[in-house]
Chains A and B, each alone.
Chain A
Amino acid sequence: MVLSGARRGWARFAVRAGCWAGWLSRRVGLGAGSIIGGRVTLWLDRGALSGLAAGRRVVLVSGTNGKTTTSHLLAAALRTTGPVAHNASGSNMADGAVAALAEVPDARYAVLEVDEWHLRAVARAVEPAVVILLNLTRDQLDRGAEVRAVAAALGAALAEHPRTLVVANADDPMVVWAASAASRVCWVAAGAGWVGDSVTCPRCGSILRADGPTWNCPCGLVRPTPDWWLTAQLLAGQGLSTRLELRLPGRCNMSNAALAVAAAAALGVSPRLAAAAMGGLDAVAGRFAVIQRGGQELRLLLAKNPAGWVETLCVLEQARSLLVVINAREADGRDTSWLWDVPFEGLPRRAIVASGERAADLGVRLSYAGLEHSTEPDPVAALAHLPAGKVDVVANYTAFRQLLGRLAKEATAP
């Protein structure tokens, strides 16, 4: 990008002003500072994002679940080659991307998780080398749109970038339909836990025919031949087999790692080296973190929609009591109906507390699932209802952030 001297000077000033704003926000305790910093920069210089991305190889990570985890896994893999810019806090719109790029100006690689609805705008600005498309399922129906509309919009965005490599999950029909619009696709058979949104064909609405691990539709949409296959812990691709040994729990994280390894390999990092770097991660932005508090050992898990819950239910350990925290703020989706798509009925007996601003909605759902529980809207107070020992804490988006903040504050309090 060729800029005039004055234009370049102004762009540099805009970035610096954003960094100051972010620093000030952290200093006065308002937050992590990435959103305000990015906003200040973008307000001063609308072209800041493309300016900051110029000359770097940018990977965008999008999809309903696993954006934050996958971007952390990939950033760990790419760091084996040098510094990486990464919106690690999960600020996944243009402002968060700007702040992440401004923070590490000398990084050759950037890994940016991007909200599905912001992918088009961010991709136009950064001309990504790679886009990872993880999965597409129902989430915040009141805020976004029905899944099919999200997939159609993503497809339109990907079609604008013929040179970008799209690394996509071949086992999610909704993802396949969206990614089919792209010119270059690397298909990863990464598995799918929740199939509730892809029983019918995303393209024509007919019932999809399942055939072993593959599926097809009379309209012609079929599961593509994968370039990479995940089987339990083994990821096969590029003529070799790589063992994924993660400290992060659950099948969904194996799936996230498989897509991240394929993306890293496309950028020249060997699958084995990438997998080894990913194996070092044990918590991601507080998710999966283990916290000692009084006589309890809390393990923090994020689940914000039915698909996320289906994966989380498999990770819950029976020996642990359970605290579930549900909010319904704008970022969570205002409608709590989705709790009825979570198969709580299969949860073995244990001590359970329903909590969060929508503790009552959750409590009603648990009663109908035949689960005895107590109800306490304040999640920290709710912990007192549970016995000493191991506790799994599952919270949705804003509930997770609030609780993490309170526990961190508590830990640093005198």
Chain B
Amino acid sequence: MTGQSSIRIGLLIPEVLGTYSDAGNATVLAQRARWRGIPAEILVINADSTPPAALDVYLLGGGEDTAQIFAAQWLGRHAQLCHALANHAQTLAVCAGLQVLGQSMRDRSGRDHPGLGVLDINTAPGRHRAVGEIVTTCAFPGIGQLIGFENHLGITTLGPHTGWLGAVVTGTGNGTRDHTGRRTDGVHTDRVIGSYLHGPILARNPALADHILGLIAGQDLAPIELPDQAAMRQTHPDPVAVRGRLRRRPRIPTQR
């Protein structure tokens, strides 16, 4: 892999969309690339700068209501970036970051705010905040279950040609069902992966991180065994499956 060009990761306005620690997704992508000998750099793009439009992957995280409207307006002012998100980069957008990429977002007072329109989705506030562990089955083959923590009020409706990222096992996710009646979380297109999962999502689900890296690197990547990773997934089991059972102590793999 020597001589390979660097993977450039753009962390978009973390000071605005950083409430739920989703900036960790950038760290995970960069480290997993570096551990395989692929150079990677994280560019933190703050709101007072002009975002570069030629990066490989852009990350958007969760934020509060006022911050979210600010974020949509900020993105809207940078046409080249929007073009990149829609046409040539990979994007991972979580929670509020997912919502701002859609057609519209309705606030708690019932007012609609325009999104970027990169995704055919619409979001409106639900009746109750969805807070807790969430488990979904990923639409991408070979990734299996996605685990995370959700904390949002938004109910997201997907357009007829927009695919979901995960089928909800437990939790809320989008809060809507697909045409077969399946409860879904997030979206996926050939360019954008969106989800309501924090954790951060890539820290909890390294297979999804490697899926994104694989798309950028244009090759399948060899797996990485990280200490504690298996134990972490066991401390966040399917809450329904363990209900009524005694909580197991997390199993820690032997240290190398």
Contacts and interface: CB of A to CB of B under 8 A. Distances in A.
Interface of A: 138, 141-142, 146-148, 196-197, 199-200, 204-207, 306, 334-341, 354, 357-365, 367-370, 374-377
A395 B208 CA distance: 31
A148 B108 CA distance: 15
B228 A146 contact: no
Contacts of B231: 359-360, 363, 375
Contact of A335 (B16, B27, B151): B151
Given A147-B19, A200-B16, 7 more contacts: A200-B66, A336-B149, A337-B20, A337-B149, A359-B252, A375-B228, A375-B231
Contacts of B70: 200, 205-206
B235 interface: yes
Contacts of B80: none
B67 A360 contact: no
Q: Kindly list the 4 A-B residue pairs having the minimum CB-CB distance in the complex, ordered from nearest.
A: A340-B24, A363-B228, A205-B66, A360-B231
Contact of B133 (A334, A374, A376): A334
Contacts of B47: 207
Nearest to B30: A368
A367 B24 CA distance: 12
Nearest to B69: A205
B249 interface: yes
A368 B149 contact: no
Contacts of A206: 70
Given A141-B19, A359-B250, A377-B250, A337 B228 contact: no
A337 B199 contact: yes
A163 to B, nearest CB: 32
Contact of B235 (A197, A306, A361): A361
A377 B252 contact: yes
Contacts of B198: 335, 337
B21 A368 contact: no
A142 B252 contact: no
B15 A196 contact: yes
Contacts of B200: 337, 340
Nearest to A358: B235
Contacts of B149: 142, 334-337
Interface in B1-58: 15-16, 18-24, 27-28, 31, 47-48
Interface of B: 15-16, 18-24, 27-28, 31, 47-48, 64, 66-67, 69-70, 131-133, 149, 151, 198-200, 203, 226-229, 231-232, 234-235, 249-250, 252, 255
Contact of B228 (A197, A200, A207, A364): A364
Contacts of B24: 337, 340-341, 365, 368
Given A334-B133, A360-B235, A148 B18 contact: no
Contacts of A357: 235, 250
Nearest to A366: B228
Contact of A337 (B21, B28, B31, B229): B21
Contacts of A196: 15, 18
B132 A367 contact: no
A141 to B, nearest CB: 6
B90 to A, nearest CB: 20
A198 to B, nearest CB: 10
B227 A340 contact: no
B236 to A, nearest CB: 8
Nearest to B203: A364
Contact of B27 (A197, A306, A340, A361): A340
Contacts of A369: 27
A340 B25 CA distance: 9
Contacts of A364: 203, 226, 228-229, 232
Nearest to B228: A363
Contact of A340 (B21, B66, B249, B252): B21
B193 to A, nearest CB: 18
Given A200-B16, A375-B227, A363 B151 contact: no
A366 to B, nearest CB: 8
A375 B252 contact: yes
A142 B64 contact: no
B67 A142 contact: no
Contacts of B199: 335-337
Contacts of A340: 21, 23-24, 27, 200, 203
